[in-house]
Structure 1
């Protein structure tokens, strides 16, 4: 006879009962920059609960809300919200704190336990240890940049018409000011996929993109560009006939010629961050 298999939300309740979460801020140096990573870590040994995507889906279904209905309540496109429930698209261990707080305001009224919702972001049930990301950044003389989950593909490209922001990443204020004079609101972080820009950019390298720089003033700079509805990180060269040559650093990848507004610039890549 098969034993009782607990529902994921039952496991969450057991885990959170009587146990809290503490804040852990880790400052890491990289080859090209100093990134300040703020994260929540568990206090003591806590059992595995499965991916946060499945827990979010279970909580939504518990309230009877549809993906579209919850997305509308969050004031975001349905496909953007759906990415947070898709383990192939959202691979982070925790949800962003701002999104989680909005979810709590909506789902608690529908009967979902607040402590289970807050647990999606690694926040203790009591909330006593909760620290706002903006407060952490201010204490560390950092600024918060949005990180895009879907990203700009360095391979075949990825559809960026509707991509979600998964979290805000703290970066050293002094280091960013050495890259660009643009305000933090003009900057965002993305990760590339593929090898078409090797050896300059490797798969999963982090790039910082300045959206205020969207006009070509110098040849062969690296840009975030949209071509044919797909986002790419490429070198751009303006040609005499008014077209733009989209180049990959990998010699095995052929250039693309874009004409008549087929491509538009999102921003210039001002930094590459690589783990070693």
Structure 2
């Protein structure tokens, strides 16, 4: 059952009415009114309400006091440092390798799933220098990846699919979500350049995930995340 007091508290924080929440969830105002009045115990809308309000479903349903889900499939900065110290040449970096090796994936993206002109327009928004340097018809190497952890929640939810431009290499802080490899561990995080070219601040949108700083030599840029897709609930 959805915890009405928590939802009402979140609405107050956002400055929203129940009608605003209904529009954001693409449901009728009466559907929200029935949930918040306790007339229905149907929790079908719980995932949508949680996503729209930027918290975990467990918080919305009263199963957890924490607004954000515990991060799954992630490790602490100390454990990451140990991986770095023991990093072996040729370590399989998961999706890092597939960007360049899987030509069938690029063919599918360009010819079967996404229009190449649409791809160019989207990538040009976050990496215009690619098209200045390579011309307007340039199509960058791409990859498609499913989000495997809750670390970027609520921006990216576990199971979301993202498109990554593997040609983008300029981290300026204006568009900060990147696919990276740190110590051989693939992850999607926000990157912010540190002063004096000291490296990057690596952070997640879920407060339960660790934030750390790393020199450039320890961060392999896979590419910039420029599009996300989510199955409608």
- TM-score per shorter chain, which class? 0.3 to 0.5
Greater percentage in strand? 1
Query: Which structure is richer in relative contact order (CA contacts within 8 A, separation 6 or more)?
Result: 2
Structure with greater helix share of residues: 2
